[in-house]
Chain A
């Protein structure tokens, strides 16, 4: 009988880290990586910064390849369309069926788009190709409207301003980045971004994109370039009808095994990266998706270790080993350097306060839930955050 490979669907950072971890766990069999992009896995954070402001190419952002994964079979430019869990087979857009002995779901996210008729000049950014298309139009003097004011929208606003564009950020929120950061810090960051020349329309609803960006109050903002940065949707259509819980990404248990709507975990299906909704005992037992840069690596390592044990030995112990990754994120906007640990978005409204420094300069802001520190965000501080990181990891 032919031994089928482990099939990893999604050939980006999470899939790559899973493959590497599988090898480290001793799995020596076949690994097939299926991805819809033509590029081998690369680092995405530069897409909103250096890729736009310099001439970097795929080689510059590609992850280095390792000897242990040199024999991975890459099927790039192939999109998974469906999977049959009974016969253990993934079907790609060209009709090929890929039989597997174990499946890794690492298909990530795609940018959410506004529901308007296509017009020229609209951009969204997720892939290297998206960034290269945007780079061509961010020329000095271009009128750029960024719709959405999360980290990505604010970073794009910063980069475009530095490139000489005239930038307006439009958002339904009361402040940029308010959901993760809370009003206190979000307000301070907005004033800093405004000082650098970014204009904001807050509490604004976009109702049209015909001649510029039209808001519900009748304002029309002229635009040469419109960037939609309003969040992401999960690439889970290929998993429809499988019985997996797809209510927000793909539900997984703490071992990252995919879980059905009936609450059953599949020992041969794992979920990694942005699409994985898993419980993290560092905080509680609520499964959450975490769209931070470190998560594909942390979940890839975990899934590779557990799956390696499933295909080898020590599975029970591997599953029982607690997985409690520390969420970490960064954002650079103009000369503002944000660094954060934990899940600040979990904080009680009254649980957000300055831990040290002052809001107008370098500051560490603490985020508490039920008086317990669940997140810390530093502006211009790094080593000073480490004791707080320790406190978050230490639990109650």
Chain B
């Protein structure tokens, strides 16, 4: 559990932070600007694995 399965739903919510590469692997920035907070929170919500945690 909590392991990213590369579903890519986060990409639709926060495209500046999450990216699905050509090998179907999910990549993300290590840090997100405060202006992206709402998008990243939405990405947390839509992850079927609930694998995304926001660490302050």
* Interface residues, chain A, with chain B CB atoms under 8 Å away: 17, 43, 45-46, 50, 54, 56, 60-61, 63-64, 66, 293-294, 297, 328, 330, 332, 337, 339, 381-384, 386
CA distance A395 to B9 in the complex (A): 20
B24 adjacent to A382 (CB under 8 Å): yes
CA distance A384 to B22 in the complex (A): 8
Closest 8 interchain pairs by CB? A382-B24, A383-B20, A50-B1, A383-B24, A43-B50, A297-B45, A382-B6, A382-B8
Q: How far is the CB of B47 from chain A (nearest CB, A)?
A: 9
CA distance A272 to B41 in the complex (A): 20
B50 adjacent to A383 (CB under 8 Å): no
Interface string of B31-50 (1 = CB under 8 A from A): 00000000001001110101
B46 adjacent to A294 (CB under 8 Å): yes
* Residues of chain A with a CB closer than 8 A to B46's CB: 294, 297
* Choice from A54, A64, A330, A382 contacting B48 with Cβ under 8 Å: A330
A63 adjacent to B21 (CB under 8 Å): no
* Interface residues, chain B, with chain A CB atoms under 8 Å away: 1, 5-9, 20-24, 41, 44-46, 48, 50, 53
- Total A-B contacts with CB atoms under 8 angstroms apart: 42
Q: How far is the CB of B7 from chain A (nearest CB, A)?
A: 6
Q: Do A63 and B5 form a contact, CB below 8 Å, given A382-B20, A383-B24?
A: no
- Chain A residue at smallest Cβ distance from B53: A64
A63 adjacent to B20 (CB under 8 Å): no
Q: How far is the CB of B53 from chain A (nearest CB, A)?
A: 8
Which one of B1, B41, B46 has the greatest number of beta carbons of chain A within 10 Å?
B1
A337 adjacent to B1 (CB under 8 Å): no
A45 adjacent to B7 (CB under 8 Å): no
- Chain B residue at smallest Cβ distance from A380: B24
* Residues of chain B with a CB closer than 8 A to A383's CB: 8, 20-24
* Residues of chain B with a CB closer than 8 A to A45's CB: 48
A386 adjacent to B24 (CB under 8 Å): no
CA distance A50 to B5 in the complex (A): 14
B9 adjacent to A63 (CB under 8 Å): no
* Residues of chain B with a CB closer than 8 A to A332's CB: 5
A56 adjacent to B1 (CB under 8 Å): yes
CA distance A43 to B1 in the complex (A): 11
B5 adjacent to A337 (CB under 8 Å): yes
